[in-house]
Amino acid sequence: MTIVPMDRTHAPVPKAPATPAPAGEHRRLHEMFFPKHLLAVIRRERARADRQKGQFSLVMFRLVPARGRWATLRLGKLVMDEVRATDEVGQFDRHTVCALLPDTAPDGAWKLIDRVDETSRARKMAVEPVVYTYPSSWFDNHHKNGSSSNGNGSSGTGVSASSRVSNSSRNTSEVAPWVQAAEDVDEDEAVKEREDTLPLESLLMRPPSAAKRFLDVFVATVVLLLASPIMLVVAALIKYTSEGPVIFKQWRSGIGGQPFEIYKFRTMCVNADALKAKLRAQSEQDGPAFKMTRDPRVTVIGQFLRKTSLDELPQLINVLKGDMSLVGPRPLPLDEQAQCDQWQKGRLDVAPGLTCVWQVHGRSRVSFEEWMRMDLGYIKRYQVWEDLKLILQTIPAVLLRRGAK
């Protein structure tokens, strides 16, 4: 449903307290959110949209050329005068103001832009708008662009989307240069809702901090050096006990749904993926994930490697490459991730990891929905100290084989 912003100049005078007055006549600058609070407001609205299976839009207005703080506040007041009482206005950065529009499709967002554009021109302010929408087909597009688990495809993704910047240039195909968060939208699979709309999911990604990345590289390097003799022995056992490559490669969903090739010691027969569909009905894990205690595809040495989690050691290379982190939601295969519910895709906001809450406290003992909630709970506490705690908790969990199958 498209909700059109109220036209203040023709809004009727309310005759009863139940009919709200135009929002702009009651809102002041102190009601505008500042950058440190704005993302929390956006995430809260996403959670609401997930629960209600709804949608919302976010419109960003940037002064061109960039000016000082007072000019941005002036723009903020202008936007606040045009939005509805249910909309939120905040400052995205020093030169950008955004309006969060609940229950609003992109068409409704562009009608707000038309009003702001008209008013800003009258006040001799040059404003450059960009519209983001949620939910979008962004994650699904990444899945389409990823290859199958045999590694023959390509995960290449590029960027392209259209942005209307003024009444005189509505058909431009260039994205405003300051919009950097949407760099992973595929050119041929751009958001289909509108060509001039960007996926809001791209704004909510949380790349690893410098401290987290340092911890990843340091620990991964040390463990690889210490474990290299064990890895050589494991590789030799795999090579001489079954046919096929030593390293198993599979496309998984990374941060933002970006496909990447994960590395593991091979624990199954070479045609494991072909047999998976036949065994799907015997899966002991609810939801899209596949888990089976006595999986006939697993080799003799593979059973030992899985019990001890030694098959995961090559993923330290993924950590060094930046595809993964030491701690983060476990990456699902592309086909399984594509089957996740809308709210479960929030786990793609951060880089996947070798271990997380599910590894320590869940695994085969919890449902798929509980697993997803564990991942989302970790993201809410996303910090280095939480990572250190989970790394220390993973050691006894692996040694005691808690929940391992």
Q: How far is it, in rounded angstroms, from Cα 336 to Cα 197?
A: 27
- Rounded to an integer, the average pLDDT of 181-195 is 43
Is the pLDDT confidence value at 3 over 50?
Answer: no
| Alpha-carbon torsion angle 176, 177, 180, 184, nearest 10 | 70
Contact 251, 263 (CB under 8 A): no
Q: Would the pLDDT of 296 be above 90? A: no
Tens digit of pLDDT for each residue in 209-223?
A: 999 999 999 999 999
Band of residue 373 on the pLDDT scale cut at 50, 70, 90 = very high
**Mean pLDDT across 271-277:** 79
8-203 CATH choice from 1.10.1270.20, 3.40.50.280, 3.30.70.270, 3.30.2090.10: 3.30.70.270
Predicted confidence band at 27 (pLDDT cuts at 50, 70, 90)?
low
Higher pLDDT, 5 or 300: 300
Q: What is the mean pLDDT of the chain?
A: 79
- For residue 12, the number of C-alpha atoms closer than 13 Å in the C-beta half-sphere is 4
Average pLDDT over residues 233-248: 93
* Confidence at residue 97, expressed as pLDDT on a 0 to 100 scale: 92
Q: How confident is the model at residue 282 (pLDDT cuts 50, 70, 90)?
A: confident
| Top-confidence residue, 285 or 387 | 387
Q: What percent of the chain is modeled with pLDDT above 90?
A: 40
Predicted confidence at residue 26, as pLDDT, reads 57
d(CA 405, CA 292): 8
- Segment 383-388 long-range contacts (CB within 8 Å, at least 24 positions apart): 384/209, 384/211, 384/212, 384/215, 386/327, 387/212, 387/215, 387/325, 387/326, 387/327, 388/215
* pLDDT reported for residue 189: 41
Q: What is the rounded average pLDDT of the residues 68-72? A: 83
The domain ranges of the chain are: 8-203, 210-399
Q: Which of 182-186, 226-230, 232-236, 320-324 has the lowest mean pLDDT?
A: 182-186
Q: What is the mean pLDDT of residues 384-399?
A: 86
pLDDT at 351: 95
- List, for residues 12-21, the tens digit of each pLDDT value: 434 334 344 4
The arithmetic mean of pLDDT across residues 26-45, rounded, is 83
Compute the average pLDDT of residues 284-296: 78
Per-residue pLDDT tens for 196-205? 789 998 888 9
Q: How confident is the model at residue 2 (pLDDT cuts 50, 70, 90)?
A: very low
Least confident of 59-68, 97-106, 148-157: 148-157
Considering only 7-11, 92-96, 277-281, which range has the smallest mean pLDDT? 7-11
